[in-house]
Amino acid sequence: MNFPFYIAKRYLFSKSKNATVNIITLIAMIGVIIGTMALFIVLSVFSGLKTFNINYISASDPDLTITPSYGKSFVFFDKIDTILQDKAILHYAKYVDERAFFSYNDKRIIANIKGIDSLFTKVIRLDTSVYAGKWLDNKALDQTVIGNNISKQLSLGISDFINPLKIYVPKPGKGYISNPSQAFKMLPSQPVGVFAITEELDSKYVYSSLLFAQELLDFQPQQITGIVVKLNDKTDVDAVAKNISQKLGTGFKVKTRAQLNAVFYKMLNTENLVSYFIFTLILIIGIFNVIGAIVMLILDKKENLKTLLNLGLPITKIKQIFVIHGLLLQGIGMGIGLFLAVILILIQMQFGLLKITYNLAYPVDFKFSNLVIVILTISILGFLAAKLASNRINLKILKDN
């Protein structure tokens, strides 16, 4: 058996005659346990929040979005259809998206009118987000489905067949407007459903048929503002996006879901990183207890260390005893902390005891990558703490009476 390891283990598991040393060692281990639990739980919480938000984004954003590089719209032509017949593509759909002015009775609001074709819900399952009424009927061109917040701001329900939702857009043209009453085109619509996805989307969109939006904006039959694409699950999204972009040329922009939400992804990663550093600093403060415990043990075992030195044990080996002791101390604390933290995370995932709202449990996610991060962080900090404390040992200290 390795001699320094044997002595370090004896020092850790045998009680010291000095009660102060035992108490400080216990406090150091508790500090490591709490620090480990805190770091792993925080990382798991942010992983859960990230997954939760990405799922929301997946419900509202497609795998790929194709838009014109110049201007707001383009004419869909056969070459685009040929390019989008790629085996990696399951479905694609066309849409028109433009700012509009909505009026109902005496209330008004500015939002986006988004006209979609019949295949749109195969790309993005927006129809599943309708909580009141129904989704659009492709045969009824004047129907609309409105966001929850828009519905509240306009005090608009889904059963008013007398007062329509009026939608206004500026008429295309150049120069000054001489007659404001003729500057806008208006079409009435019948809201048939209310959807709820996110706060932003619920305040931004009113969905209609593609033909309705094209008529409202005086578009040509094949004139659209973009295309959304759904890919096979096992497809390399970035590779397909690059391939389609090369085939379409510089006149089009092809963006993945991650590129569309680049700021959001960056924000999530930044928050995760900042939280990791904050709790690592807290953990470092806790690790100082380990240094204190080792220093107290060195002073307590001073006579024993003199004996080992006189028996011919090199001072480097004596230092190694306390490095190993520190690693064992933080290793046991880390093991207990991780065990308790994993149990808590699994309980939350299974039963959702801690809730954000009555029906929504606080999201957490168990990831082995977080486990590895915690183990590496505590192992490195524990080694540095033990190394720093063991450097207190020198010949002068051991030979002093």
pLDDT tens track for 203-256: 999 999 999 999 999 999 899 999 999 999 888 999 999 999 999 999 999 999
Largest Cα–Cα separation, the chain = 106
Cβ 147 vs Cβ 183: under 8 Å: no
Cβ atoms within 10 Å of 114's Cβ, excluding its own: 23
Average pLDDT estimate for 90-108:
95
Task: State how far the alpha carbon of 90 is from the alpha carbons of 57, 84, 226, in Å.
Answer: 19, 9, 17
Cβ 22 vs Cβ 15: under 8 Å: yes
* Separation CA 316–CA 12 (nearest Å): 19
Domain boundaries of the chain, sorted by first residue:
3-57+264-399, 62-257
Q: Please choose, from the candidates 398, 345, 397, 393, the residue with its C-alpha nearest in 3D space to the C-alpha of residue 368.
A: 345
* Residue partners of 123: CB distance under 8 A and separation at least 6: 62, 91, 92, 93, 228, 229, 230
Q: What average pLDDT does the chain have? A: 87
Going by pLDDT thresholds of 50, 70 and 90, the confidence category of residue 67 is very high
In the three-class reduction of DSSP (H, G, I as helix; E, B as strand; rest coil), residue 207 is classed as: strand
Which percentage of the chain shows pLDDT scores above 90? 48
pLDDT over 80 (residue 109): yes
* Separation CA 44–CA 272 (nearest Å): 10
Of the listed ranges 89-103, 144-158, 163-177, 366-380, the least confidently predicted one is 163-177
* Separation CA 28–CA 332 (nearest Å): 11
Tell me: the pLDDT tens digits for 116-131? 999 999 999 888 889 9
pLDDT over 90 (residue 161): no
Name the burial class of residue 19, with classes exposed (0-12), middle (13-18) and buried (19+) by CB atoms within 10 angstroms of its CB: exposed
Average pLDDT estimate for 69-80:
91
Of the listed ranges 74-78, 243-247, 344-348, 360-364, the least confidently predicted one is 360-364
Listed ranges 111-120, 132-141, 150-159, 258-267; the one with the highest mean pLDDT? 111-120
The DSSP element (H or E) to which 75 belongs, if any, is: strand 74-75
Going by pLDDT thresholds of 50, 70 and 90, the confidence category of residue 134 is very high
Q: First vs last Cα of the chain: how many Å apart?
A: 32
- Hey, what long-range contacts does 46-51 have (CB within 8 A, 24 or more apart)? 46/268, 46/271, 46/272, 46/275, 47/272, 47/364, 47/365, 47/366, 47/367, 47/370, 48/362, 48/363, 48/364, 48/365, 49/268, 49/363, 50/268, 50/272, 50/365, 51/363, 51/365
* pLDDT for the residue 172: 75
* Residue partners of 3: CB distance under 8 A and separation at least 6: 313, 317
Going by pLDDT thresholds of 50, 70 and 90, the confidence category of residue 91 is very high
Cβ atoms within 10 Å of 229's Cβ, excluding its own: 24
* pLDDT for the residue 112: 97
Listed ranges 154-158, 182-186, 270-274; the one with the highest mean pLDDT? 154-158
* pLDDT for the residue 233: 83
* pLDDT for the residue 179: 59
pLDDT over 70 (residue 180): no
Tell me: the pLDDT tens digits for 298-351? 878 878 777 777 777 888 888 888 888 889 998 999 999 999 999 999 999 998
* pLDDT for the residue 27: 87
pLDDT over 70 (residue 398): no
